A = this chain, B = another copy of it.
């Protein structure tokens, strides 16, 4: 047994500490990985604050290693074409026995027979090293993307949504009369890391894209968005929203008031994506008119969680392209790198934060 430093919590009660944990040897079909960087997201902070009641420790334990966003290097492995030194991203969710899990889509798990690393009953990646099934590792072919590959886990959520959109938008003629999305509009609510990634992808897909929040953002954040032709607006100010309505709405806030308000701006045959979740937000009033809006315009509201390994692979490809084509903007997405000892970073969002990461090497 080896010993690792690890950042742990006691789910669902919360708390955070850096401690020593033991690490078993890899079995057949497993690889030993050295953690390079782990990202921090709202879920991690929710677990630490004790706000996420659905989180739980691995069976028979009074702690869980945190962390589900990770880039690591192979220390030893056989199979899956992996070699020592390869950069990999571990897929977070382990499937159970439902039909969706059996076909490699635990992101669509139809029961509760699955585990998410660092969240529900399975150790996460905030530790010096870990052992993982080789079939759950996604290789990063291009080493030069390693410095932003910690964004793969949040990005795979985006890839799943755009995959689903390619099917849902077949229900009608969704694109413009030139066959493209150049005349179509996307609106992303929320300026966290997921909001950034969704808006960058929407712009890339051809949409005229706006991202909004109820407060201003930093100059650094604005420059990144500018690089991707994404327009920002503080929608607490009158007239902030573009007037023509939107064809794609992505809510990353989980705020009912924001979702319901913005759905009224969705055009006929448009899609509203629910991605963000927030347990501690005020409820909002849904009227008969809100339903009429959805019905009369054939609007589809799509809830989407997680992504499959295919989406992790798509995410690596997309990040790699962006890392090369807009290197400065992509590097600016990592707004802070911290040491594992600095567990305070798990207690509160940093000013101007897009993605804070912990460096393990």
Q: Which residues of A contact B (CB under 8 A)?
A: 99-100, 102-105, 107-111, 135-136, 142, 163-164, 166-168, 170-173, 175-182, 204, 206, 251, 254-256, 259-260, 267-269, 274-281, 283-305, 308-310, 313, 317, 320-321, 324-325
* A109 lies within 8 A of B320 (CB): no
* B279 lies within 8 A of A283 (CB): no
- Complex Cα gap A181–B138 (Å): 12
Copies in the complex: 4
Q: Could you tell me the distance in whole angstroms from the C-beta of A161 to the nearest C-beta in chain B?
A: 11
- Complex Cα gap A302–B271 (Å): 9
Q: Which residues of B contact A276 (CB under 8 A)?
A: 291, 295
Q: Helix, strand, loop or mixed for chain A's interface?
A: mixed
Once A267-B110, A269-B108, A321-B317 are accepted as A-B contacts, the answer to whether A279 and B289 lie under 8 Å apart by CB is: yes
Once A103-B179, A173-B99, A289-B279 are accepted as A-B contacts, the answer to whether A300 and B298 lie under 8 Å apart by CB is: no
* A309 lies within 8 A of B180 (CB): yes
- Complex Cα gap A168–B166 (Å): 11
- Complex Cα gap A293–B173 (Å): 27
* B299 lies within 8 A of A300 (CB): no
* B177 lies within 8 A of A103 (CB): yes
* B296 lies within 8 A of A277 (CB): yes
Q: Which residues of B contact A280 (CB under 8 A)?
A: 288
- Complex Cα gap A255–B287 (Å): 8
- Complex Cα gap A255–B284 (Å): 15
- Complex Cα gap A110–B171 (Å): 13
Q: Which residues of B contact A269 (CB under 8 A)?
A: 100, 108, 110
The 5 closest A-B pairs by CB, nearest first: A104-B179, A324-B324, A321-B321, A294-B303, A301-B301
